[in-house]
Amino acid sequence: MNQFGNLYSQYYDLFYSDKDYSAEVDYINSLIQANDKNVNTLLDMGCGTGKHAELFCNKGYIVHGIDLSEDMLKIAENRRIGKENKLSFSHSNIQILNLDKKFDAVVSLFHVMSYQNSNNELFKAFEVAKKHLKDGGIFIFDFWYGPAVLTDLPTNKIKRLENGNIKVTRLAEPILNAQKNIVDVNYDIFIENKETKEVIEKKELHKMRYFFDTELEFICESIGFKILNKYEWLSYKKPDFSSWNVVWIIKN
């Protein structure tokens, strides 16, 4: 299911204007280089508006990004200017992707795996990553980490942002479903036109699954991935009860 509505896609980059994409790409690049210095081609599964993909391209990788949201891909296409031979995008669900092509590495960032709510969806996404990897290729993904989610429970949050044209207020109300390992994040988004004072309201539901080591280890073993490393996001620290976001590096 596409959990990103048109309005959310349109203002996605504003919502995450405080997100340090450059630091994240530097970090993932360090993980890639630590495990395989010969990576040249990169598949970005769930690329969104293409910011990560563009920055990977700037580092010399040939990058293809795929996403389920056509609205986000329209924004991503603008990033190809001057990079047409090294940066491309296409529309697909990551569970059924078939590019008939293999890559040196696959990345899936910003909790894309946590949007795979069922075991079946998760298995399919991992199988797609494996199918598109060359022998020995690496798959890097981040996700919500169960031990931390259940230790530091999600709470209501308010985020306010603005640019020259609009003011945006986003209310996030999470509801924990402990039996399914899913957090329903209910967003109420209010967008005000600063000139006309018109306010538009949009509601979004993002169902986020949090994972535990044993279930991901089982999937890796079942599909044929070798686990190389597990880190707290943006560090080289072993994940613990404070690590809400965790990254795994696994090998085909």
Every domain of the chain and the residues it spans: 3-144+211-251, 148-209
**What's the chain's average pLDDT?**
94
* H-type alpha helices, 109-194: 119-131, 146-151
What single-letter amino acid sits at 93? N
Tell me, what DSSP letter sits at residue 119?
Answer: H
Mean pLDDT to the nearest integer, 3-30: 78
pLDDT of residue 10: 59
Q: Hey, what are 140's tokens?
A: 């890097």
pLDDT of residue 91: 98
What single-letter amino acid sits at 29? N
H/E element, 53: helix 51-58
234: left (phi over 0), alpha (psi -120 to 50) or beta: left
CA triple 183-189-194, angle to 5 deg: 160
Provide the β-strand partners of residue 251.
138, 226
Q: Hey, what are 220's tokens?
A: 């890796």
H/E element, 220: helix 213-223
CA quadruple 43, 46, 52, 54: dihedral sign: positive
Of 33-47, 89-103, 193-207, 230-244, the least confident = 193-207
- Rounded to the nearest 10°, the torsion over CA 24, 204, 14, 67 is 50
- Asked if CATH classification 1.25.40.10 holds for the domain at 148-209, the reply, yes or no, is no
Model pTM?
Answer: 0.93
Kindly tell me if the per-residue pLDDT of 4 is higher than 80: no
Tens-place pLDDT, residues 60-96: 999 999 999 998 899 999 999 999 999 999 999 999 9
H/E element, 23: helix 21-35
Q: Which residues contact 201 (CB under 8 A, 6 or more apart)?
A: 188, 189, 190, 191
CATH of domain 3-144+211-251: 3.40.50.150
Q: What is the bridge-based pairing of β-strands 245-251 and 182-193?
A: unpaired
| CA–CA distances in Å: residue 133 to residues 43, 102, 176 | 9, 5, 35
Tens-place pLDDT, residues 192-232: 888 889 888 989 899 999 999 999 999 999 999 999 999 99
Of 45-49, 63-67, 161-165, 197-201, the least confident = 161-165
Kindly tell me if the per-residue pLDDT of 1 is higher than 50: no
CATH topology match: 3-144+211-251 vs 148-209: no
How many alpha carbons fall within 13 Å on the CB side of residue 40?
3
Compute how many other C-beta atoms are within 10 angstroms of the C-beta atom of residue 26: 13
Q: Which residues contact 37 (CB under 8 A, 6 or more apart)?
A: none
Kindly tell me if the per-residue pLDDT of 24 is higher than 90: yes
Provide the β-strand partners of residue 143.
246
